[in-house]
Structure 1
Amino acid sequence: MIVYEFKVKGKEAQYRAIDEAIRTSQFIQNKCLRYWMDNKGLRQYDLNKYCAVLASEFPFAEELNSMARQSAAERTWSAIARFFDNCKKKVKGKKGFPKYKKHCRSVEYKTSGWKLSSNRKAITFRDGKSIGTLKLKGTYDLNYYDIKQIKRVRLLRRADGYYAQFAVDARVRVETEPTGQVIGIDLGLNFFIADNKGNTEKSPQFYRKSERQLNRANRKKSKKFVKGGLPQSKNYHRARNRYARKHLRVSRQRKEYCKRVAYSVIQSNDLVAYEDLNVKGLVKNRHLAKSISDAGWSTFRQWLEYFGHKYGKVTIAVPPHNTSQNCSSCGSKVKKSLSTRTHVCPDCGLIEDRDTNAAKNILKLALCTVGHTGTYAWGDLPSWAVGAILSSNGELLNQESHAL
């Protein structure tokens, strides 16, 4: 499954119709969740049948395409199934009990309710929401694929406009010549990555560099907010949109940087070893949370696994325990604090950069697992390849970037 994204162009009335379709999808998700909470033992099929009941009770729900209603129910069931899986796996802390949606940003269609134009440069939505025909702005060519290969179409609202995403059932494997190289990668805050050969990539810190502008935009937004005002003024919504666009720009910068580095690493090596970091747990450290979030480790890992799958390269996640403490030469444990950036072994006399020493240990662990228990740390499949449903928060699991 591969996802292509286009920006859509239409009239203001069409954008308002998209917003109405998004609100209807959110309403169905919340109603399905309430129905599941009130009735024990329900399955996904029961939620799909309940969509027809909602359509008969609420005229605005009937206007939405039937498969789009089912897709909203599937999102609810996805949250329910994830909650049960976390309970079975005995995940520490909160298990992620499903919550009501407050700020949904997308509506998802399946194989009906839409039609592409003959040149595949426009799409028409034919349900009762009166969205009509929208122009597709992008560099990808959908003529390469058959219409039957497009399994899902999503309309997504972002701070800078509206987008259409197409989930295409297509082969993503690309045959490449082996390079004969292997690499171990240590992710860090001072350096974004450091490999076992001593090469480093400095962390760009996009959020840190834009933090001053973001804080200024946030203050301007707050000054225009009227407590108890309903609705807020147009000036407030303009300031709110400017603030959101600045955050979106930082997010895109980080994503493109992670993608570029991951692509370079995969193209240069046949085997890539990296740490199985618990980023969700690491960001609980209030002293490092901002820096860890700004580094984009999870985003880098997703792209690394995706490109590894696409180009037939081996990617192995290894446990991070003591990779920075152990000596890569003799294996003895040398305790050091986070501020100590040089590894000095008292047993064998090895003096090396802390991150390079960790990268060598990561590569050794990965080579020990090859042919035995090598695995993706987020499941049997890469993290981006789980399920055909598009990610409900608007981000793509396996989206091809515009810059590639």
Structure 2
Amino acid sequence: MIVLEFNLKGKAEQYRIIDDMIRTAKFVRNKTLRHWIDNQGIKLVDLYKQCAVMAKEFEWAGKLNSTARQASAERTIFAIQRFFANCKAKEPGKKGFPQFKKHTRSVEYKQSGWSLSTDKRCLTLKDGFAAGKFKLIGSRDLHFYAPDEIKRIRIVRRADGYYAQFCINVDRKEELVPTGKAIGLDVGLNHFYTDSDGETVSNPRYLRKSEKDLKRLQKRVSRRKKGSKNRKKALDKLGRKHLKVSRQRQDFAIKTALCAIKSNDFVAYEDLQVRNMVKNHKLAKSISDAAWSQFAQWLEYFGKVYGKTVIAVPPQYTSQNCSNCGSIVKKTLSTRTHICGCGTILDRDHNAARNILAKGLKQAGMGLNTVGHTGIHAGGQTDLYSLVATSTSKSTGRS
């Protein structure tokens, strides 16, 4: 699957209709969850049937395309399935009991309720809301894909406008000349990562650099009267600034992961439990700003696209063990140099990267994790739309 994203250009009235569609999708999602809570033991297929019941009971809900209502119900189904899966696996801590959504920013269609123009440059939403025709702004061309290959579309509202994401059922495979190189990556806060060759990539710290502007914009929001137009304008500016930081962080993760994959045939990285690490309130902001989980997800994705071996390595003792003799050299977080009795003197992260590479090669030799590691990280469950960016042919003009 790949995802192409386009900006939707329309009139103000059309955007207001999209907002109504999104609110309706949120209502359907929450209503199906309420039905599941009130009727414990019902089958998941009953939630689909509940969508038809809602369409008859609420006239405005019936305006939303039937497949869009089903897609909203599927969000509830996925949340329920994830909850039971965590219970069965006896995951520590909270199991993720499905919650009612207060804020929703998207509505999803399957293969009906919309159509593309002949030149595939315009999208028309044709359900009961009749949002009408929108121009698709982007650098990619949908002519390369047959209409039946487009399995779903998602209309997304962001701080800087409205977007359409097209989910296309094609396999992306790229061929590269083998480099014969293997590398281990140790992520950190001082440097974004240090590899097993001792090379480092600096940590861009996009949130830290924008913190002054974000605080200033947040103050403007706080000073405006609730419900006023000026407060809405201030909120829009604050939202656009947060969105810019998010896009910068994602763009950096994509380009860095792509460079690592193209330059090496074998990549081993730390399988960090970021959701546990951010419980340290002194480091939570810096860890979140580094986006290690996002970087790992893109490593795995590009590994599959380019046919490279990507392995997630448990991080235990990678910093404490000597990469030369294997002896344990205990260090605190403030100790940045690894000094071993065997005469090895290395930067702490360089030593860890070498250990990560050795562990990765050992796992590969044992046939473990040789196609990457996909799981739930700090950013939540990996899904199709979480990887919408340049590498999946993102078409908003950013790379």
Q: TM-score, normalised by structure 2?
A: 0.95
Residues 171-214 of structure 1, C-alpha deviations (whole Å, 9 max, x = no match): 11112211100000000000001000010001000000100000
Residues 23-76 of structure 1, C-alpha deviations (whole Å, 9 max, x = no match): 000000000000000111223211111100000000011000000000000011
Partner of 2:361: 367
Residues 5 and 388, structure 2, Cα contact 8 Å, conserved in 1 = no
Q: CA deviation at 1:396?
A: 3.6
**Structure 2, unpaired ranges of 5+:** none
**How do 1:389-400 residues align onto structure 2 when only pairs under 5 Å count?**
390=385, 396=388, 399-400=392-393
**How do 1:12-161 residues align onto structure 2 when only pairs under 5 Å count?**
12-161=12-161
In 2, the alpha carbon distance for the partners of 1:387 and 1:156 equals: 16
Match of residue 269, structure 1, among 264, 267, 277 = 264
Partner of 1:356: 350
In 1, the alpha carbon distance for the partners of 2:140 and 2:43 equals: 38
Partner of 1:171: 171
Residues 375 and 381, structure 2, Cα contact 8 Å, conserved in 1 = no
In 2, the alpha carbon distance for the partners of 1:352 and 1:265 equals: 22
Q: CA deviation at 1:273?
A: 0.2
> Secondary structure of 1:370's partner?
helix
Matched, 1:188 2:155: no
In 1, the alpha carbon distance for the partners of 2:3 and 2:42 equals: 31
Match of residue 374, structure 2, among 371, 378, 394 = 378
In 1, the alpha carbon distance for the partners of 2:265 and 2:338 equals: 28
In 1, the alpha carbon distance for the partners of 2:44 and 2:280 equals: 38
Aligned partner letter, 1:88: K
Residues 106-141 of structure 1, C-alpha deviations (whole Å, 9 max, x = no match): 000000000001111001011011110010000111
In 2, the alpha carbon distance for the partners of 1:304 and 1:260 equals: 10
Q: TM-score, normalised by structure 1?
A: 0.94
Q: CA deviation at 1:379?
A: 4.8
Residues 206 and 250, structure 1, Cα contact 8 Å, conserved in 2 = yes
In 1, the alpha carbon distance for the partners of 2:214 and 2:5 equals: 27
Evaluate the alpha carbon distance shift between residue 384 and residue 218 of structure 1 in structure 2; reply closer, same or farther with a 3 A threshold. closer
Residues 374 and 382, structure 2, Cα contact 8 Å, conserved in 1 = no
Partner of 2:10: 10
In 2, the alpha carbon distance for the partners of 1:36 and 1:101 equals: 15
Residues 152 and 167, structure 2, Cα contact 8 Å, conserved in 1 = yes
> Secondary structure of 2:140's partner?
coil
Evaluate the alpha carbon distance shift between residue 210 and residue 386 of structure 1 in structure 2; reply closer, same or farther with a 3 A threshold. closer
Residues 186 and 350, structure 2, Cα contact 8 Å, conserved in 1 = yes
**How do 1:234-383 residues align onto structure 2 when only pairs under 5 Å count?**
234-346=229-341, 348-375=342-369, 376-379=372-375
Residues 305 and 384, structure 1, Cα contact 8 Å, conserved in 2 = no
Evaluate the alpha carbon distance shift between residue 293 and residue 387 of structure 1 in structure 2; reply closer, same or farther with a 3 A threshold. closer
Residues 275 and 362, structure 1, Cα contact 8 Å, conserved in 2 = yes
Evaluate the alpha carbon distance shift between residue 315 and residue 198 of structure 1 in structure 2; reply closer, same or farther with a 3 A threshold. same
In 1, the alpha carbon distance for the partners of 2:365 and 2:152 equals: 37
Aligned partner letter, 1:71: A
In 2, the alpha carbon distance for the partners of 1:403 and 1:163 equals: 14
In 1, the alpha carbon distance for the partners of 2:250 and 2:392 equals: 11
In 2, the alpha carbon distance for the partners of 1:400 and 1:55 equals: 36
Residues 297 and 374, structure 2, Cα contact 8 Å, conserved in 1 = no
Residues 44 and 74, structure 1, Cα contact 8 Å, conserved in 2 = no
In 2, the alpha carbon distance for the partners of 1:384 and 1:99 equals: 14
Q: CA deviation at 1:385?
A: 10
In 2, the alpha carbon distance for the partners of 1:54 and 1:374 equals: 48
